[in-house]
């Protein structure tokens, strides 16, 4: 569906494992003092002095987590880094290093891996992180990418999932549901393409939601913003599986309940119009869509004046006593229990 403009095809066999690693990693420069040794030895060496360290890993598997028929490899490289940085930022930490491991079959050419690494390199540049290692191996089927991200922060700045207190405000960054709707559009175009390969889809109407699916941004800016506003959330989590599931994580771990207001959930106009076109309820998508990579946090009422004018932060509800349970307050003002469907099971609702 997405035309392969890179016509040259160099087989991986010609390079050998070490040649390939050297080739793919030659442009990575070191930006952080904490990176004492990066790529090139048996292990990287890091020195964080008195800081606390956060470490997180994600595994991405072809045809489970991504589909190369509409995901350009450059975007995939970028997204693989974002998915991990998002977890680092959700701890309120500053991301500093990543390792990138790949398993590839001989279906992939050197040029294809160059594209993947171009995306990784762009992400490393924009987000100011060092790529300090990884592993390269062959796979008999598709492409597998595993990224581990490392971040640093002072102990007193760490924000866990379990600190939410009754009366805290429930706050979300950005808008929700766009990545999922972008995926629906891409899946639809893939089906159209199968029937008519000559068809050139006009995707202008969906540019924002497709970009949210193919090229998400992790919210590094929010960690900085919170510092600038002098606000430390009482709890925080990144939104990878859908708002509903993440709220439930915070409530269960913090032993609290919540009231989430349907009419406060931030939606982009393109999400609303595409939901209408697909005849799906936009609240369902925001609650269960996933892959938003926004941050969900709880903030003490005292901090409300500091955040209320900020366009990046939307108050969507508040925390209650655990005994009150977790609820969605609908536009019609009925209170319905929150359940986590997760984006995987969305296909079998209706």
Which residues in this chain contact ligand ADP in the complex, by CB under 6 A? 21, 25, 39-42, 100-102, 131, 133-136
Counting contacts by CB under 5 A, is residue 17 touching Mg ion?
no
| Least distance CB 31 / ligand ADP (angstroms) | 15
Q: Is 141 annotated as a binding residue?
A: no
Please indicate if the annotation marks 130 as binding a ligand.
Answer: no
Closest to ligand ADP by CB, 41 or 302: 41
Residue 238 phi, psi (nearest 5): -95, 155
Question: Shortest Cβ distance from residue 299 to ligand ADP (Å)?
Answer: 38
Q: Which does 100 bind (CB under 5 to 8 A by kind): Mg ion, ligand ADP, none?
A: ligand ADP
> Would you state the structure tokens that stand for residue 148, as one six-digit string?
């581990």
DSSP string across 188-215 = HHHHHHHH-TT-----GGGHHHHHHHHS
Complex with ligand ADP: residue 65 or 190, whichever CB lies closer: 65
| DSSP H or E segment with residue 309 | none
Report the residue number, 144 or 265, with the smaller CB distance to ligand ADP: 144
DSSP three-state, residue 54: strand
Listed ranges 31-39, 79-87, 129-137, 327-335: which one lies at the site for Mg ion (CB under 5 A): 129-137
- Comparison of 18 and 228: residue with beta carbon closer to Mg ion: 18
Structure tokens at 160: 């866990």
Question: 134 is in the binding site of which of ligand ADP, Mg ion, none (Cβ under 5 to 8 A by kind)?
Answer: ligand ADP
CB of 135 to ligand ADP, least distance (A): 5
If the CB atoms of residues 132 and 176 are measured against ligand ADP, the closer one turns out to be: 132
Rounded Cα gap, residues 87 and 225, in angstroms: 17
Joined together, the tokens standing for residue 202 give 């006009």
Q: Is 135 in the site for Mg ion (CB under 5 A)?
A: yes
Closest among 214, 338, 199, 347 to 278, alpha carbons compared: 347
Cα first-last separation, the chain: 28
CB of 73 to Mg ion, least distance (A): 21
Facing residues of 256 across strands?
Answer: 321
**Please, which residue, 35 or 173, has the CB nearer to ligand ADP?**
35
Annotated binding residue 75: no
| 241 has binding-site annotation | yes
Q: Which CB, 103 or 338, lies closer to ligand ADP?
A: 103
Select from 158, 173, 98 the least CA-distant residue to 128: 98
If binding is defined by CB under 5 A, does position 47 make contact with Mg ion? no
Contact 315, 225 (CB under 8 A): no
Q: Does 221 bind Mg ion (CB under 5 A)?
A: no
Q: Which does 173 bind (CB under 5 to 8 A by kind): Mg ion, ligand ADP, none?
A: none
From the CB of 32, what's the least distance to Mg ion, in Å?
23
Give me the sign of the Cα torsion angle 31, 218, 6, 24: positive
Q: Say whether 330 counts as a known binding-site residue.
A: no
Cα–Cα distance, 169 to 50 (Å, whole number): 32
Has 238 been labeled as part of a binding site? Answer: yes
- CA separation (Å) from 90 to 156, 175, 222, 298? 15, 16, 9, 12
Q: Residue 296 in contact with residue 236, Cβ under 8 Å? A: yes
155 is known to lie in a ligand binding site: no
d(Cα 86, Cα 219) in Å, to the nearest integer? 7
Q: Which residues are annotated as a binding site?
A: 42, 56-58, 65, 87, 117, 134-135, 161, 238, 240-241, 291, 343
Note the residues at the interface with Mg ion (CB under 5 A). 135
Q: Which residues are annotated as a binding site for Mg(2+)?
A: 42, 56-58, 87, 135, 238, 241
Q: Which residues are annotated as a binding site for ATP?
A: 117, 134-135, 161, 240
């Amino acid at each position: 569906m997405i035309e392969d403009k890179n016509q040259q095809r160099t087989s991986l066999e010609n390079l050998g494992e070490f040649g390939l690693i050297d080739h793919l990693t030659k442009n990575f420069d070191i930006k952080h003092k904490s990176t004492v040794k990066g790529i090139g030895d048996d292990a990287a060496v890091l020195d964080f002095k008195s800081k606390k360290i956060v470490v997180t890993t994600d595994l991405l598997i072809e045809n489970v987590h991504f589909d190369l028929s509409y995901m350009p490899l450059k975007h995939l490289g970028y997204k693989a880094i974002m998915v991990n940085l998002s977890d680092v930022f959700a701890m309120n930490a500053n991301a500093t290093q990543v390792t990138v491991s790949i398993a590839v079959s001989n279906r992939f050419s050197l040029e294809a891996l160059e594209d993947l690494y171009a995306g990784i390199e762009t992400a490393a540049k924009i987000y100011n992180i060092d790529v300090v290692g990884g592993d390269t191996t062959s796979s008999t089927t598709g492409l597998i990418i595993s990224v581990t991200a490392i971040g640093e922060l002072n102990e007193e700045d760490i924000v866990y999932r379990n600190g939410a207190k009754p009366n805290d405000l429930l706050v979300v960054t950005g808008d929700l549901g766009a990545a999922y709707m972008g995926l629906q559009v891409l899946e639809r175009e893939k089906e159209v393409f199968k029937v008519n390969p000559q068809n050139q889809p006009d995707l202008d109407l969906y540019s924002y939601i497709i970009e949210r699916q193919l090229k998400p941004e992790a919210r590094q800016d929010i960690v900085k913003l919170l510092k600038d506003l002098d606000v430390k959330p009482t709890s925080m989590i990144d939104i990878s599986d859908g708002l509903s599931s993440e709220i439930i994580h915070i409530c269960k771990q913090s032993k609290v309940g919540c009231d989430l207001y349907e009419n406060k959930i931030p939606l982009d106009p393109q999400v609303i119009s595409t939901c209408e076109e697909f005849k799906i309820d936009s609240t369902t998508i925001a609650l269960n869509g996933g892959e938003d990579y926004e941050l969900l946090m709880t903030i003490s009422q005292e901090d409300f004046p500091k955040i209320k004018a900020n366009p990046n932060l939307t108050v969507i509800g508040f925390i209650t006593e655990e005994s009150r349970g977790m609820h969605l307050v609908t536009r019609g003002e009925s209170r319905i229990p929150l359940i986590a469907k997760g984006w995987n099971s969305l296909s079998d609702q209706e």
